[in-house]
Amino acid sequence: MSVSINAVRSLSFADSHMSAILVENVEGYEADGIVVNLSTETIYVEGEVDTPVQPWRSVMLRSKIIRKADKIAVLKIKNLENLGAVSLRGWEWFGDIYDGFPRQTPLYMSSIDTVGTVTEDPFVFTRERTTVEAPQEFEIKLKCWWSPNETDCFIHNEHPFLEVHTQIHGYGRMQKSRERDASTVYEDVIMAPGFTHEPFCIVTGKNEWTYPWHRYYTDVESIWLAVELHPITWDWMKTVGRTLFPPRTRPAKKARGTLWWQIRHSTGVFSAQLPSR
Ligand SMILES: [Fe+2]
């Protein structure tokens, strides 16, 4: 399916206090807000000197042109008054989603928006190599988190996906620790609006990424965006994929032994290249 130039749609977590849009097939698009590069290509901000934004990185712009991009998200806080009332705007307390979450921690999560697929080499995503050798398909999922000041957003080290975070509002830190114990923190990555941290994980197997113990910790009230790359696998198709798209998911074509699937969902039709079985 061809996407029109500068095709814009709202992300599911956009609300009265935060605009959040997805822009696809970007060409000469004037962006106003925090722009996240959701593609594997470097994009350029127009200027007297064009400046690059690396894949999975971000920049804060004031009505400035992005020359060309496959896909970007643009987020901007519009209203500070009652910004923290996210639970009254549909966000969920994380303790209601994850039973093991501390019962007194005020961490809230927005809805999740799946914004399409991307072909990425996990080793390139993690910066363990610079050339693409083992590309695979991922679904890109976006969601936002909110916490008030001085919130411990839980030390963890397990993710079945690749993740980075972009600070949207407030200030905080991504911390790494030797153990699941805040007294063992050994690195603080300071998060300020518009900044995306480097990936914390390394590739340790097929669809296996090893993370150090880490957590987000707010200094002041913060909203931060999670950008997650979830691998599309045969198991995914057999379970999640068929649950989500049962009657309309079908093989689309075969090319050089690789099976492509055409998937229809609420945001359109896309083709997913699956790994060989
Ligand atoms: Fe994490």
- The identity of residue 55, as a single letter, is P
On whether both 27 and 47 belong to a single domain, the answer is: yes
pTM value is 0.86
Rounded to the nearest angstrom, the distance between the alpha carbon of 210 and the centre of ligand 1 is 11
On whether both 92 and 219 belong to a single domain, the answer is: yes
Is residue 120 assigned to a domain? yes
DSSP 40-83: SS-EEE-SSS-EEE-TT-EEEEEEEEEEEEEEEEEEEE---TTT
Rounded to the nearest angstrom, the distance between the alpha carbon of 156 and the centre of ligand 1 is 6
Is residue 238 assigned to a domain? no
On whether both 72 and 94 belong to a single domain, the answer is: no
Rounded to the nearest angstrom, the distance between the alpha carbon of 175 and the centre of ligand 1 is 10
pLDDT average per 10 residues of sequence, the chain (277 residues): 91 98 98 98 97 98 98 98 98 95 97 97 98 96 98 96 98 98 98 98 96 98 98 70 51 45 44 47
Domain housing 97: 85-231
Rounded to the nearest angstrom, the distance between the alpha carbon of 197 and the centre of ligand 1 is 12
Is residue 259 assigned to a domain? yes
Cα 158 to Cα 192: distance, rounded to the nearest angstrom: 25
Rounded to the nearest angstrom, the distance between the alpha carbon of 163 and the centre of ligand 1 is 7
Is residue 1 assigned to a domain? no
pLDDT value at residue 257: 41
Number of domains in the chain: 3
